A and B are shown apart, each in its own frame.
Chain A
Amino acid sequence: KQEVTQIPAALSVPEGENLVLNCSFTDSAIYNLQWFRQDPGKGLTSLLLIQSSQREQTSGRLNASLDKSSGRSTLYIAASQPGDSATYLCAENGGSQGNLIFGKGTKLSVKP
């Protein structure tokens, strides 16, 4: 059974800090990995998608990396802001036409 694990489950940092969220997956044959943001009671907002052939993707203050050989992805957030407070989910696509396998998420709190 394919599994996705996210560590830590929760993280609290002061504003301005750089931080890293971790995601590990068991499927060595993933097609891509996607990072999402979810605000309380809301749907998912796609942040970054990394194809299996790529090593990283960047969008603004966000940088996501992918290491298929070790089954790991990281989401790096630079210069964190209180508005970054949310739950961050990673999901791997093993190629089953959209059957994404999600982790449980990391709940991030950025304190002003």
Chain B
Amino acid sequence: DTGVSQNPRHKITKRGQNVTFRCDPISEHNRLYWYRQTLGQGPEFLTYFQNEAQLEKSRLLSDRFSAERPKGSFSTLEIQRTEQGDSAMYLCASSSGASVYEKLFFGSGTQLSVL
């Protein structure tokens, strides 16, 4: 069990470009979550998967954002036509899916800077 892995750790892009982040959850964790954290703030929920099904999306997830978890294992988060306001830390978390009472385990995040 190597924990939640996120790649890349840092991404610098120019406004208008598309970016994609990857998250590998803890092995056999059924639930996977994406959060966004801006400087000085707590993380904010973006979306959540139960296996390959995307079950909940925040209003923060505009139509430029898309997340997938095609085989119920790793997940990708794509941002199209990036804007400077997208600059943030994007955090992935996973949990076993056994119960709503369980602990979430977070990865180290992908720091996005949009120039």
Q: Which residues of chain A have a CB within 8 Å of any CB of chain B?
A: 4, 31-32, 34, 36, 41-46, 49, 51, 89, 91, 93, 95-105
Contact = CB atoms under 8 A, between A and B. Distances in A.
B31 to A, nearest CB: 6
A105 B38 CA distance: 12
17 contacts: A31-B100, A34-B104, A42-B108, A43-B4, A43-B108, A51-B101, A91-B42, A93-B101, A95-B100, A97-B55, A97-B100, A98-B31, A98-B48, A98-B56, A98-B104, A99-B56, A104-B41
Q: Is the interface of A mostly helix, strand, loop or mixed?
A: strand
Interface in B18-71: 31, 33, 35, 40-45, 48, 50, 55-56, 58
B72 interface: no
B95 interface: yes
Contacts of A96: 56
Given A43-B107, A43-B108, A45-B106, A99 B45 contact: yes
